[in-house]
Amino acid sequence: MNNFKKIGMTALAASLVSTSVFAGELAVSGSASINWENYSGKDQDSTKSFSMGNQITFSGSGELDNGMTVGVSFTIDEFDNANASSVANSGSIFDAHSVTVSSDALGTLVFNGEGGDSAQNAVGDTAAGNIWDNFDSAATVLKESGMSTNSMHYTLPSIIDGVTLSASYSPNKGQDEADTAMALVYTGVEGLTVSLGKGSSDGDAAGTASLSDANADTTSMKVSYAYGPVTVAYSDHEHDASKADGTNDQDATSFKLSYTVSDALSLSYAEEEIDSKASASNVDAEYSKVVASYTSGGMTVSANYQEADNIDFSTSDLQDKEYYGLSLSFAF
């Protein structure tokens, strides 16, 4: 009986070893951050806060007999669980997970679960980095065209050097999210990146409900050029809702200037301006940001100052705010 058990365990161990080798390699990466923030403005007392964020990503991939590569990835984000009451968060610590199938001849197909990206995310944030998103009272409807759940993202194989084409689709509509999207990225000139994206969200057919329910199109463009230690970026993000009066239409233009002082130290200045058709006063919301970062190995220390004017698209200074932030982060 004992010999039988030994033989059985040996066979099982050999099977597990051969299976794990065939499955490929598993990689683990992550980050941890410690943050101090302070908001101030005429309509509120100075608000200071201290927070920590931890994130771990597990990823693995292996090659099939037909030459295709299959990969699996999921992320555990402790910070997400703290915001379980928010609309965009289910409270699960599993922030993102996906399955990827790719080959040189057929391109790359990604099946996204929670936290998946749409094709339009190839353009990403505004050049300034969505400064408006750091102010809760910002009267903007602009959103990234990220798909939070159950989306498919396909990137064509390379046909022309420096050109990448991709498209995505999500059967589950979410608030201010694009159901379909496409993007083109050009990197054929050294230092230059040009990104174009288009997204469409299917919602309320009449277009008379709130923006979160209305049909909307999002168009985004970003151009960046790096020359030596200097990088300049410009972007234009438009949100066109289906309401006939155009009151939910907004346009955000943005630029950023970055300077790499050394391998460790970098400085940047950015501005962002949002034009809203809903504003009868024709006043644009304006944002600016200054960041200094110092990196040593996997550690980064950064200081961040942001300023917001006319947040509610009016000249009243009650909605003018300032933000100060310090961050210590570690990547592994």
pLDDT score at 293: 97
pLDDT score at 273: 92
Token pair of 277, please?
């058709």
Q: Is residue 13 part of a domain?
A: no
Instruction: Supply the DSSP symbol for 118.
Output: P
Q: Is residue 51 part of a domain?
A: yes
Token pair of 307, please?
């300023």
Q: Is residue 22 part of a domain?
A: no
Q: What is the CATH number of the domain that holds 297?
A: 2.40.160.10
227: left (phi over 0), alpha (psi -120 to 50) or beta: beta
Sign (positive/negative) of CA torsion 91, 176, 133, 44? negative
Q: Is residue 84 part of a domain?
A: yes
Angle of CA points 320, 300, 125, to nearest 5°: 50
Angle of CA points 289, 295, 298, to nearest 5°: 125
Alpha helices in the chain (DSSP H): 2-23, 78-81
Q: Is residue 69 part of a domain?
A: yes
Question: How many folded domains does the chain comprise?
Answer: 1
Question: 85: buried, middle or exposed (CB in 10 Å: 19+, 13-18, 0-12)?
Answer: exposed
Q: Is residue 230 part of a domain?
A: yes
Structure confidence by residue, pLDDT tens digits, 259-315:
999 999 999 999 999 888 765 667 888 999 999 999 999 999 999 999 998 887 777
pLDDT score at 112: 86
| Residue numbers of the chain with a pLDDT score lower than 70 | 1-23, 43-46, 78-95, 115-116, 136-149, 172-178, 202-215, 242-248, 278-281
Q: Is residue 82 part of a domain?
A: yes
pLDDT score at 261: 97
| Main-chain dihedrals φ then ψ at residue 14, nearest 5 degrees | -65, -40
Q: Is residue 41 part of a domain?
A: yes
pLDDT score at 255: 96
pLDDT score at 13: 38
Q: Which domain holds residue 159?
A: 28-331
Q: Do 102 and 109 contact (CB within 8 A), yes or no?
A: yes
pLDDT score at 124: 77
Structural element, H or E, at residue 165: strand 163-169
Q: Do 190 and 224 contact (CB within 8 A), yes or no?
A: no
pLDDT score at 283: 81
